[in-house]
């Protein structure tokens, strides 16, 4: 995986580092809305449901944009089932494989409405032509999953999840945070841009339906 050197990237903390700090609990007597916390085993079913809904919404939009309005094939949609995704999250939530792996959820009045997952990675510095620079790769953190229930979007949950993820990544020693996002999902692209992330120029194609493209985004920590 390649990314720009961290000194050439915007910082996720240049937006508003004091707003909606991760892990901040509501004041006593206030509703528990907009809270981000580590996932627990009792969240698994909700995580699978939210992840499936967010993934489907993102892929539908990306596929439609990429292929002149063509809908996502029914077979693909059937594979993105909440029960299947729930099973895939169990180990990550119950017993993370190594330090630096995290799963967080966003809640609204105690209901899980969003999630983000982090895993350690490394980013190799490159020059403006994309040629790998000399020196050791930078320690980084990859956002391996990011999603908010479509019914709960535009309420700040995505921003809070990214802020919490960047806070954890910094605490783990990461110098850069990266995320792969499908091209054509304007809502997701807007969220990443607002968080101070930028496209690195790296991309990959996924064999989903007629094909969708994922762009690599990154920001310095």
Q: What is the CATH number of the domain that holds 90?
A: 3.40.630.30
Which residue ranges of the chain lie beneath pLDDT 70?
1-34, 123-136
pLDDT at residue number 132: 52
Q: Is 20 left (phi over 0), alpha (psi -120 to 50) or beta?
A: left
Taking only the tens place, the pLDDT of each residue in 141-177 is 999 999 999 998 888 999 999 999 999 999 999 999 9
Domain-embedded: residue 49: yes
How many domains does the chain divide into? 1
pLDDT at residue number 133: 52
Q: Which residue range(s) make up the domain with 199? A: 6-220
pLDDT at residue number 147: 95
Taking only the tens place, the pLDDT of each residue in 121-143 is 986 554 455 555 556 678 999 99
Q: Is 9 left (phi over 0), alpha (psi -120 to 50) or beta?
A: beta
Domain-embedded: residue 1: no
Rounded Cα gap, residues 117 and 119, in angstroms: 7
On whether the CB atoms of residues 12 and 175 are closer than 8 A, the answer is no
Domain-embedded: residue 16: yes
Domain-embedded: residue 151: yes
Angle (nearest 5°) at CA 150 between 148 and 152: 70
Give the strand order in the sheet containing 212-220. 33-38, 102-108, 111-123, 138-148, 176-182, 212-220, 198-206
């Amino acid at each position: 995986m390649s990314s720009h050197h961290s000194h050439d990237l915007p910082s996720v903390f240049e937006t508003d580092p004091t707003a909606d700090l991760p892990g901040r609990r509501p004041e006593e007597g206030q509703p528990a809305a907009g809270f981000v916390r580590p996932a627990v085993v009792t969240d698994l079913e909700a995580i699978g449901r939210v992840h499936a809904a967010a993934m489907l919404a993102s892929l539908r939009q990306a596929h439609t944009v990429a292929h002149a309005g063509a809908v996502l094939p029914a077979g693909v949609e059937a594979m993105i089932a909440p029960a299947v995704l729930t099973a895939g999250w169990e180990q990550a939530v119950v017993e993370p494989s190594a330090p630096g792996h995290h799963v967080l959820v966003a809640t609204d009045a105690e209901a899980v409405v969003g999630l983000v997952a982090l895993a350690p990675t490394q980013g190799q510095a490159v020059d403006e032509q994309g040629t790998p620079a000399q020196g050791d790769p930078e320690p980084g953190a990859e956002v391996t999953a990011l999603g908010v229930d479509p019914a709960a979007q535009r309420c700040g949950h995505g921003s809070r999840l990214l802020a919490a993820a960047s806070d954890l990544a910094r605490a783990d020693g990461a110098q850069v945070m990266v995320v792969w996002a499908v091209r054509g999902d304007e809502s997701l692209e807007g969220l990443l841009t607002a968080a101070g992330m930028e496209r690195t120029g790296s991309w990959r194609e996924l064999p989903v339906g007629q094909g969708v493209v994922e762009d690599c985004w990154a920001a310095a920590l």
